[in-house]
């Protein structure tokens, strides 16, 4: 029904006027949302056996298992090898995917295998850039989990390796391949919310696991875990299973809430708006409740200014996460414009059209208003002038109405993200979330942490991807 190409704002307005929800909602009433199904992507042509992609996963933890399962749902894929530093996870890999899957503690043994075409890098953040670069240099395509880098300086090195090796690198923020975000992008481009002026997003959590208190297996020990390799370039420390299994809590290995969660929001928002990122970054927060030895804050808010570009006007973004928020599990992104609000929540885009309210003559002249404070003679003169201006240029009633676009039950954006990755490998088709996109999502997240730690505002140049004063 919708195509983003050649679909104008006027077409959009015509279409909403014709839809009963919007038409009946004109001017006064606000209707319950019409729910419109978003069509799923077509699965595509069958894959020839010669086009099979042989995969390996480096980092078989929570998302390593999920990514591997998901990737194998796409036709023409085979799982041949995995690396992980904890023996229990390598054992589980063979239980789940078969004895024939080669496993090792040393990811370099994966990169040197001729039967691996592509690797999933799903280690903790401090290993992403190093393994991704080595993998591309070894001739492998890379699906690198977010955030693409833990350290800003590594960003350009990953971009350079991708450019030099011409390998496909896709960063694992699956919103970028989601039909829900594509629908939001299409609605935004068609002018559904008028002129954008602000975006607000939050990610709420209120559980121990949500606050990164992940489970520690009973056999965790220096014998079952390759602790030195885990540390990599991070500061040397004695064996600590808490740091190993709950690495997100520590700056040495993770990237705090911004690198874990805001990075998804940046990726999704940048995709919808066609944006390269903010120009100004500031944040506030603190460690309020989870005083369990962690050093990353459990409450953080970020504020970002985006300059005007060809695809969006100047606008302000606010992001927040609180790990002690019992107000409900809902997280979402709201795009606020002059004619409405578009909200992405889970698998749907909710559109509420609500233009600026222009009060009636009675409200302006007699209502709770400043006119009554003018001298009597001026009040009458004001009323006359007002009537004359309204006669020549009557205020149009504002449009009101709502609609909801929903993905099919059970829709999995991660699978579409893997399909796009595999399609890029097979056909050379460009992918959206390449290394530059990955850095443009990761950098504002990392600078949110810097801003919090240093209590300073950062300037960022999103096209050249560098800090400016
Ligand atoms: N896209 C998403 O929705 C999503 C969701 C969750 C996590 N992630 C990302 O995935 C990554 C992993 O997160 P997780 O929750 O699965 O962590 P995890 O701790 O559950 O798993 C990480 C695994 O990596 C292994 N590992 C560590 N260093 C390694 C190395 N040098 N070589 C081989 N294996 C190594 C560990 O042994 C561990 O089993 C993180 O960067 C995270 O941000 C993405």
Does the pLDDT of residue 4 top 50, yes or no?
no
Among the residue ranges 117-121, 151-155, 391-395, 441-445, the one predicted with the least confidence is 391-395
Indicate if the pLDDT at residue 396 is higher than 90: no
Place of tokens 């209502």: 367
Helix spans in 98-139 (H): 108-111, 128-137
Q: Work out the average pLDDT over 161-168.
A: 98
Q: What is the pLDDT of residue 29?
A: 30
Would 288 be classed as within a structural domain?
yes
226-272 tens-digit pLDDT = 999 999 999 999 999 999 999 999 999 999 999 999 999 999 999 99
Specify the pLDDT at position 2: 25
Q: What residues contact 424, with CB distance under 8 A and at least 6 apart?
A: 168, 170, 430, 431
One domain for residues 106 and 219: no
Q: Give the pair of three-digit tokens for residue 252.
A: 């040495």
Whether residues 208 and 106 fall in one domain: no
Are 318 and 388 in the same domain?
no
Query: In angstroms, rounded to a whole number, what is the distance separating the alpha carbons of residues 418 and 44?
Result: 13
- Supply the DSSP symbol for 249: G
Q: How confident is the model at residue 71 (pLDDT cuts 50, 70, 90)?
A: very high
Residue 101 has pLDDT above 60, yes or no: yes
In a domain, residue 419? The reply is no
Q: How far apart are CA 338 and CA 269, in angstroms?
A: 18
* Number of domains the chain is built from: 3
Q: For the segment 321-362, what is each residue's pLDDT rounded down to a tens digit?
A: 999 998 876 689 999 999 999 999 989 999 998 888 878 778
| Sequence-ordered list of residues with C-beta below 8 angstroms from that of 316, at least 6 positions apart, any chain | 197, 198, 199, 303, 304, 305, 306
**What CATH number did the domain enclosing 448 receive?**
3.30.360.10
Do 346 and 443 have their domain in common? yes
In angstroms, the CA 38 to CA 36 distance is: 6
Q: Please enumerate, as own/partner, the contacts of 305-313 that have beta carbons within 8 Å and a separation of 24 or more.
A: 305/278, 305/279, 305/280, 306/275, 306/277, 306/278, 306/279, 307/279, 309/274, 309/275, 309/276, 311/273, 311/274, 311/275, 312/196, 312/273, 312/274, 312/275, 313/195, 313/196, 313/197
**pLDDT at residue 28 is higher than 70:** no
What is the Å distance from ligand 1's center to 419 Cα?
A: 21
What mean pLDDT is predicted for residues 15-31? 34
Same domain? For 268 and 342 the reply is: yes
458 shares a domain with 375: no
* 207 and 120 co-located in one domain: no
**85 and 23 within one domain:** no
244 CB under 6 A from ligand 1? Answer: no
146 C-alpha vs ligand 1 centroid, how far in Å? 10
Nearest-atom index, ligand 1, CA of 123: 24
CB 422 within 8 A of CB 145: no
Same domain (yes/no): 147, 255: no
Q: Which of 66, 83, 122 to mutate to test the pocket of ligand 1 (most atoms within 8 A of CB)?
A: 122
Band of the pLDDT at 395, cuts 50, 70, 90?
confident
Q: Assess contact for 121 and 58: CB atoms under 8 A.
A: yes
Q: Which range of residues forms the domain containing residue 383?
A: 361-392
Least confident of 56-60, 95-99, 365-369: 365-369
Range in 196-200, 274-278, 356-360, 463-467 with the lowest mean pLDDT:
356-360
Is any atom of ligand 1 closer than 6 Å to the C-beta of 84?
yes
User: For residues 53 and 117, is the Cβ–Cβ distance under 8 A?
Assistant: yes
Could you tell me if 368 and 219 lie in one domain? no
* Bridge partners (DSSP) listed for residue 337: 196, 340
Confidence of residue 364 (pLDDT cuts 50, 70, 90): confident
181 assigned to some structural domain: no
**What would the two tokens of residue 27 be?**
């001017």
Q: Ligand 1 within 6 A of 146 CB?
A: yes
The pLDDT, as a whole number, for residue 329 is 62
Do 121 and 24 share a structural domain?
Answer: no
Question: Do 21 and 85 fall within a single domain?
Answer: no
Q: 333 CA to middle of ligand 1, Å?
A: 26
**CATH code at 146?**
3.40.50.720
CA-atom Rg of the chain in angstroms: 26
Confirm or reject: Cβ of 190 under 6 Å from ligand 1: no
């Amino acid at each position: 029904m919708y195509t983003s190409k050649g679909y104008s704002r006027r077409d959009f307005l015509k279409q909403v006027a014709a839809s009963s929800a919007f038409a009946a909602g004109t001017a006064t009433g606000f209707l319950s949302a019409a729910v419109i199904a978003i069509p799923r992507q077509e699965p595509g042509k069958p894959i020839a056996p010669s086009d099979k992609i042989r995969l390996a996963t480096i980092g078989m933890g929570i998302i390593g298992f999920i990514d591997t399962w998901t990737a194998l749902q796409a036709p023409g894929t085979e799982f041949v090898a995995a690396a992980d530093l904890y023996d229990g996870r390598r054992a589980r890999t063979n239980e789940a995917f078969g004895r024939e899957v080669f496993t090792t503690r040393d990811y370099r043994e994966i990169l040197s295998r001729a039967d691996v075409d592509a690797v999933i890098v799903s280690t903790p953040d401090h290993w992403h850039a190093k393994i991704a670069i080595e993998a591309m240099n070894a001739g492998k395509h890379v699906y690198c989990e977010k955030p693409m880098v833990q350290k800003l300086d590594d960003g350009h090195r990953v971009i350079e390796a991708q450019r030099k090796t011409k390998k496909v690198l896709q960063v694992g923020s699956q919103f970028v391949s989601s039909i829900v975000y594509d629908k939001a992008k299409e609605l935004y481009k068609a002018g559904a919310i008028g002129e954008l002026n602000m975006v607000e997003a939050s990610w709420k959590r209120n559980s121990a696991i949500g606050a990164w208190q992940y489970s520690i297996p009973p056999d965790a020990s220096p014998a079952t875990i390759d602790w030195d390799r885990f540390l990599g370039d991070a500061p040397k420390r004695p064996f600590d299973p808490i740091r190993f299994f709950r690495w997100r809590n520590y700056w040495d290995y993770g990237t705090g809430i911004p690198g874990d969660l805001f990075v998804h929001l940046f990726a999704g928002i940048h995709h919808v708006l066609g944006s390269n990122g903010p120009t100004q970054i500031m944040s506030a927060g603190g460690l309020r409740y989870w005083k369990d030895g962690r050093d990353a804050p459990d409450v953080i808010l970020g504020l970002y200014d985006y300059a005007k570009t060809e695809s969006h006007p100047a606008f302000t973004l606010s992001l927040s996460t609180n790990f002690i928020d019992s107000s409900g599990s809902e997280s979402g992104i709201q795009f606020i414009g002059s004619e409405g609000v578009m909200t992405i929540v889970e698998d749907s885009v909710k559109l509420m059209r609500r233009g600026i309210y222009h009060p009636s003559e009675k409200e302006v002249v007699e209502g709770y208003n400043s006119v009554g404070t003018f001298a009597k003679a001026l009040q009458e003169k004001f009323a006359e002038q007002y009537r004359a201006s309204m006669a020549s240029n009557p205020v149009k009633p504002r449009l009101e109405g709502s609609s909801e676009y929903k993905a099919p039950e059970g829709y999995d954006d991660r699978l579409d993200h893997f399909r796009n990755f595999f399609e890029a490998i097979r056909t050379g088709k460009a992918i959206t979330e390449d290394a530059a996109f990955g850095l443009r999502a990761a950098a504002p997240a990392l600078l949110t942490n810097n801003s919090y730690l240093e209590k300073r505002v950062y300037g960022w140049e999103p096209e050249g991807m560098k800090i400016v004063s």
